[in-house]
Amino acid sequence: MAELLSGTLDLLVLRVLHSGPLHGFGIGERIHVLSNEALDVEEGSLYPALYRMEAKGWIEAEWGESERGRKAKLYSLTKEGRRQLEAERENWKQLAAAIRAILENA
């Protein structure tokens, strides 16, 4: 699996949560699926990241019911998180363009 910078993980989590609240396991699954199974998030990275983002105010957590009817801690985007998502998206685009430019022209 490719090495992910922690900033990138944040971006992915934010994107995934954009579609709706999910619990930790679900987020990992979704990332795995959406990336066509290229990315496999380590739990050891995921949960600290989730807690960090919660402390920063980008996501908030609530105990609710999972699809299985079980109690689960669901994370969802806050307004600030949405703003952050947009910002990170922009950043990523610019970063990707820059790297591509270097690779193609150097």
Partner 1 sequence: MNPIRRFWFRLGKSIRGSDLDAAMSEEMHQHVEQLTERYVRDGMSPDEALCASQRRFGGVDQIKERCRDESRLRWLENFLRDVRFAVRSLRRSPGFAIAMIAVLAIGIGATTAIVNIGRSAVFPAISYPEPDRLVVAIDGNSYDHESRTPFPFFSFPYRLAILRETAKSFAGLGGERSEPMNLVINGGPIPTTIDWVTQDFLSVLGARPLLGRIFTPSDFQGSQGDVAILDWGLWQSRFGGDPGIVGRDILLGGKVRRVVGILPRGFRVPVSFSPGDIFLPEAFSPTTAMMPFKWLEVVGRLKPGIARATAQAEMKLLRIPGPGNAYANIIESLKPLLVPLPAYYRLGKDNLFWVFLGATAFLYAIACSNAASLMLTRTVGRRRELGVRLAMGGSRWQIARLLVAEGLVLALAGGAVGLIMSWWSGSISMALFGVEAHFDWVVPAIAFGLSVLTCCIVGLAPLVRLQHARLNEVLNEGAGSLGDSRRLGRLRSCFVVLQAALAVVLLIGAGVMARSFIRLQKVDLGFDPGDKVAVSGILPDAESEKAYLRLADQMREVLSSLPGVRDATYSLMVPLTNFAASLSCKIDGRPDLGDVRFSYNRVSPQYFTTLGVPIIAGRGFDGMRAGDPPVAVINQTAAHRYFGSASPLGKRLDLDNYGKWEVIGVVGDVREMNPRNEASAQLYFPIWQPPISTGLLFELVRMNGQPGPDFESLVRRAAFEVEPRMVVHLDRLTNNAADRIQTERYTMWVLQALSALALVLATLGLFAVTAFAVAQRHREFGLRMALGAAPADLLRLVLVRGLSLASLGLVLGVAAAWGLTRFLQSVLFETSPYDPSTIIAVACLLLAVAFLACWMPALRASKVDPAMALRSE
Q: Which two tokens stand for residue 40?
A: 């496999």
Q: Which of 57, 55, 2, 61 is nearest to 27 (CA)?
A: 61
Q: Which of 15, 35, 52, 92 is the binder for partner 1 (CB under 8 A)?
A: 52
Contact between 56 and partner 1 by CB under 8 A: the answer reads yes
Contact between 83 and partner 1 by CB under 8 A: the answer reads no
Asked if 73 and 87 count as a contact pair (C-beta separation under 8 A), the reply is: no
Query: What type of residue sits at position 46?
Result: L
Contact between 25 and partner 1 by CB under 8 A: the answer reads yes
Contact between 5 and partner 1 by CB under 8 A: the answer reads no
Asked if 39 and 53 count as a contact pair (C-beta separation under 8 A), the reply is: no
Instruction: Select the span of 14-22, 69-77, 85-93, 97-105 touching partner 1 (CB under 8 A).
Output: 69-77
Q: How far apart are CA 69 and CA 60, in angstroms?
A: 21
Q: Which of 57, 87, 96, 99 is the binder for partner 1 (CB under 8 A)?
A: 57
Binding site for partner 1 (CB under 8 A): 23-25, 42-44, 47-48, 50-52, 54-57, 63, 66, 70-73, 80
